[in-house]
């Protein structure tokens, strides 16, 4: 209940600061344009085919960046004393964090929506049933909500919001590039294969490809059901590790 | 028997090698105002944060409204309202939204939260600004909104950390009358300040702290008499009269007169007739004056009187700065 009141605050702030949406909306658009129209020809031999392959990965990358904004916002709240007010109120200690994470669902939804819409505008086509597409969006958001606890932890520990941004990039970078976001996993160097196989982002992207464009676009030999289970398992691991750590960091924060 | 709304014993807190609190005792009886007076870095904010359950002390105990801040923080939080030294309002929300959100977090219904917000905005003369984003507020308005925010839940114990720093004199008077109103309603207040004048105006008792230690605790009257009363300041019209004025003030003062500026003479005085005697003596000698005033000692003078050294001891100051 307290968390919902605070989630509403997050959403109000988001609406009041539309510049926070600019990265969310512009980034997938730019990424798509750059990768599909500039590199697409070289990577896959055709832009249309490459768009079908790359868009799911670009959505996943976008959502990873939107998951990281929460740390910056929370760090600002810590610094300007808003959290002191919350912490002196008789509300549960995790409420401000849960509230921020819940409110951010709006941001994730917009990010996924904009990416898909832009993709469709420039020629992306779904080859699956509508419920698979809906499930893909939900799975994306579940993953974003789980992943953002890393950012919450970083936001609680870092000294400045600039540092949060830097550290978040360090988290996102190996996750995206050590995966099949832009090129099929089997074309990546051997030494990276081990990481690619366990990297949860690889499984999220494979699931997205399976759910949005069909099994043809997934890595050879992979199975959609297994990939989805991998994603859900990673979510459970992310939340059970980073949620307690983040709440602990918030509590001891002075 | 007195019941204490706030009771702290032997609180210590260090940040690295800085001993922010070196063993502090504070007691505030229910319904009274304690003024905590101290210079920058004395440990005022640290003490308030511990009493507000925002910071854990390294050692010592504290009870607020009968609840131990370490073992029953949730119960303690229900009793307290905190206005920190730096305004903690959400700048992207309007004044109304800030207060309604806190009301809702305190489990008021939406309607009650709005009513309480309107009432507080009225009380703090923010009604017109209520629909504007807090980031457009002036420093004084922000402070008042912050004060209002700490009162939403009708707390029985209120902490005000330097509530008037940065306010103009008229707004400072408003805060003072708000504090008096709270106390009239039975609220216990702990207020930190750097001004003896403020502590004198509001507090029933004053605790003076410096470098994390209590160096004096008394009623305002008792403290003032310890300090040698008030300070008399005279500015002669003709600067040539300065030696005469200095000689006259030496007769009425309790210490050697000082020169706060090159055309002023100041001396601490005791007794109620000092001003009258000075005026009479000045008239006898035929000295014209442009300024003649009686004021409370400044924090510097308080420290000089209590510790025999200037307020900011350079050695201790640099020790604090390295931490
Ligand atoms: N989080 C912190 N980390 C390191 N040092 C701290 C921290 N908080 C306070 N200090 C140090 O503890 C000492 C007491 O600080 P405190 O803020 O309690 O003083 P204060 O009396 O409130 O001063 P002011 O009048 O400037 O507000 C100072 O030397 C300060 O530098
Ligand atoms: Mg302070």
pLDDT per position as a tens digit, A88-141: 999 988 899 999 999 999 999 988 998 888 888 888 888 888 999 999 999 999
Q: Tell whether B72 and B191 lie within a shared domain.
A: yes
Residue in A with minimal Cα distance to B153:
A89
Confidence at A152, pLDDT banded by 50, 70, 90 = very high
- Domain containing B49 equals 4-79+155-224
Q: Residues enclosing ligand 1, CB less than 6 A?
A: A 254; B 15, 18, 20, 38, 40-46, 85, 320, 323
For chain B, report the end-to-end CA distance as a whole number of angstroms: 43
Q: Please answer yes or no on whether A17 and B54 come within 8 Å at the CB atom.
A: no
Per-residue model confidence (pLDDT) at position A223:
81
Per-residue model confidence (pLDDT) at position B84:
86
Q: Tell whether B203 and B269 lie within a shared domain.
A: no
On whether the CB atoms of residues B322 and B16 are closer than 8 A, the answer is no
In a domain, B124, yes or no: no
CATH of the domain at B23: 3.40.50.300
Q: What is the pLDDT of residues A63-92, one digit of tens each?
A: 888 888 899 989 988 888 888 899 899 998
Per-residue model confidence (pLDDT) at position A239:
95
In a domain, B94, yes or no: no
In a domain, B57, yes or no: yes
In chain A, the number of structural domains is 1
On whether the CB atoms of residues B241 and B248 are closer than 8 A, the answer is no
Last residue of a domain, one of B192, B224, B256: B224
Per-residue model confidence (pLDDT) at position A193:
79
Last residue of a domain, one of B224, B255, B276: B224
In chain B, the number of structural domains is 2
In a domain, B235, yes or no: yes
For chain A, report the end-to-end CA distance as a whole number of angstroms: 25
For residue A2, the chain B residues in CB contact (below 8 A) are: 105
- Domain containing A156 equals 2-253
In a domain, B184, yes or no: yes
Residues 6+ apart with CB under 8 A from B74: A90
Interface A-B, measured as beta-carbon pairs within 8 A, has a size of: 62
For residue A10, the chain B residues in CB contact (below 8 A) are: none
* Cα of B13 from ligand 2 centre, angstroms: 14
CATH of the domain at B259: 3.30.70.100
Using DSSP's 3-state secondary structure scheme, residue A132 falls into helix
In a domain, B301, yes or no: no
Whole-prediction pTM: 0.82
Shortest Cα–Cα distance, A109 to chain B (Å): 22
In the Cβ-directed half-sphere of A130, how many Cα atoms lie within 13 Å?
A: 0
Alpha-carbon radius of gyration of chain A: 18
Instruction: In whole angstroms, give the CA distance from residue B170 to residue B74.
Output: 37
Beta pairing class for B4-15 and B80-83: unpaired
Q: Please answer yes or no on whether B91 and A16 come within 8 Å at the CB atom.
A: no
Using DSSP's 3-state secondary structure scheme, residue B230 falls into strand
Q: Which residue stretches of chain A are H helix?
A: 2-16, 19-32, 40-44, 47-79, 82-87, 95-121, 130-157, 161-177, 190-198, 200-212, 224-252
Residue in B with minimal Cα distance to A81:
B88
Ordered per-residue pLDDT tens for chain B, 323 residues: 568 899 999 999 999 888 999 999 999 999 999 999 988 889 999 999 999 999 999 999 999 999 999 999 899 999 999 998 887 899 999 999 999 999 999 999 999 999 999 999 998 889 999 999 999 998 888 888 999 999 999 999 999 999 988 788 888 888 898 899 899 999 999 999 988 889 988 999 999 999 999 998 988 888 877 776 778 888 988 888 888 888 888 888 888 888 888 888 888 887 778 888 888 888 888 888 888 888 777 766 777 777 766 544 444 443 333 33
In a domain, B127, yes or no: no
Of B74, B92, B102, the CB nearest to A16: B92
Of B49, B91, B101, the CB nearest to A5: B101
Q: Tell whether B180 and B210 lie within a shared domain.
A: yes
Shortest Cα–Cα distance, B299 to chain A (Å): 28
Q: Hey, is the C-beta of B157 within 8 angstroms of any chain A C-beta?
A: no
Q: Tell whether B182 and B274 lie within a shared domain.
A: no
């Amino acid at each position: 209940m307290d968390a919902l009141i605070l989630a509403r605050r997050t959403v109000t702030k988001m609406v009041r600061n539309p510049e926070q949406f600019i990265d969310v909306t512009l980034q997938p658009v730019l990424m798509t344009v750059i990768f599909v129209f500039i590199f697409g020809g070289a990577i896959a031999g055709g832009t249309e085919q490459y768009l079908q392959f790359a868009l799911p990965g670009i959505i996943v990358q976008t959502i990873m960046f939107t998951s990281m904004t929460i740390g910056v916002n929370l760090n600002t709240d810590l610094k300007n004393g808003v959290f002191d007010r919350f912490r002196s109120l008789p509300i549960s200690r995790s409420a401000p964090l849960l509230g921020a994470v819940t409110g951010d669902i709006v941001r994730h939804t917009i990010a996924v929506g904009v990416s898909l819409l832009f993709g469709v505008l420039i020629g992306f086509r779904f080859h699956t049933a509508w419920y698979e597409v809906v499930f893909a969006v939900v799975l994306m958001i579940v993953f974003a909500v789980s992943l953002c606890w890393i950012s919450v932890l970083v936001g609680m520990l870092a000294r400045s919001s600039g540092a949060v941004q830097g550290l978040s990039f360090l988290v996102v970078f190996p996750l995206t590039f050590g995966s099949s976001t832009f090129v099929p996993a089997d074309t990546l160097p051997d030494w990276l294969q081990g990481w690619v196989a366990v990297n949860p982002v690889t499984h999220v992207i494979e699931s997205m490809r399976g759910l949005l464009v069909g099994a043809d676009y997934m890595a050879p030999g992979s199975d959609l059901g297994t990939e989805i289970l991998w994603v859900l398992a990673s979510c459970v691991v992310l939340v059970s590790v980073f949620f307690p750590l983040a709440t602990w960091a918030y509590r001891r924060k002075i | 028997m007195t019941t204490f709304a706030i009771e702290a014993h032997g609180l210590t807190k260090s940040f690295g090698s800085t001993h922010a609190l070196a063993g502090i005792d504070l007691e505030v009886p229910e319904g009274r105002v304690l003024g905590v007076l101290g210079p920058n870095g004395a440990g005022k904010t640290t003490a308030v944060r511990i009493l507000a359950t925002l910071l854990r002390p390294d050692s010592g105990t504290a009870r607020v409204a009968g609840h131990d801040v370490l073992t029953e923080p949730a119960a303690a939080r229900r009793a307290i309202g905190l206005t920190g030294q730096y305004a903690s309002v959400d700048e992207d929300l309007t004044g109304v939204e800030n207060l309604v959100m806190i009301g809702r977090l305190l489990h008021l219904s939406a309607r009650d939260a709005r009513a309480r917000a309107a009432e507080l905005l009225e009380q703090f003369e923010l009604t017109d600004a209520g629909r504007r984003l807090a980031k457009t507020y002036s420093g004084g308005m922000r402070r008042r909104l912050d004060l209002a925010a700490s009162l939403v839940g009708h707390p029985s114990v209120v902490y005000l950390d330097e509530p008037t720093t940065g306010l103009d004199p008229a707004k400072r008077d408003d805060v003072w009358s708000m504090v008096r109103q709270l106390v009239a309603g039975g609220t216990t207040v702990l207020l930190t300040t750097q001004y003896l004048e403020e502590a004198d105006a509001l507090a029933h008792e004053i605790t003076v702290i410096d470098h994390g230690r209590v160096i004096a605790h008394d009623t305002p009257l008792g403290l003032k008499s310890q300090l040698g009363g008030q300070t008399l300041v005279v500015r002669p019209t003709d600067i040539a009269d300065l030696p005469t004025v200095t000689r006259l003030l030496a007769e009425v003062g309790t210490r050697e007169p000082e020169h706060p500026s090159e055309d002023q003479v100041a001396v601490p005085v005791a007794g109620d007739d000092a001003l009258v005697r000075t005026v009479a003596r000045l008239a006898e000698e035929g000295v014209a004056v442009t300024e003649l005033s009686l004021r409370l000692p400044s924090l510097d003078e308080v420290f000089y009187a209590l510790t025999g050294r200037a307020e900011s001891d350079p050695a201790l100051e640099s020790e604090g700065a390295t931490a």
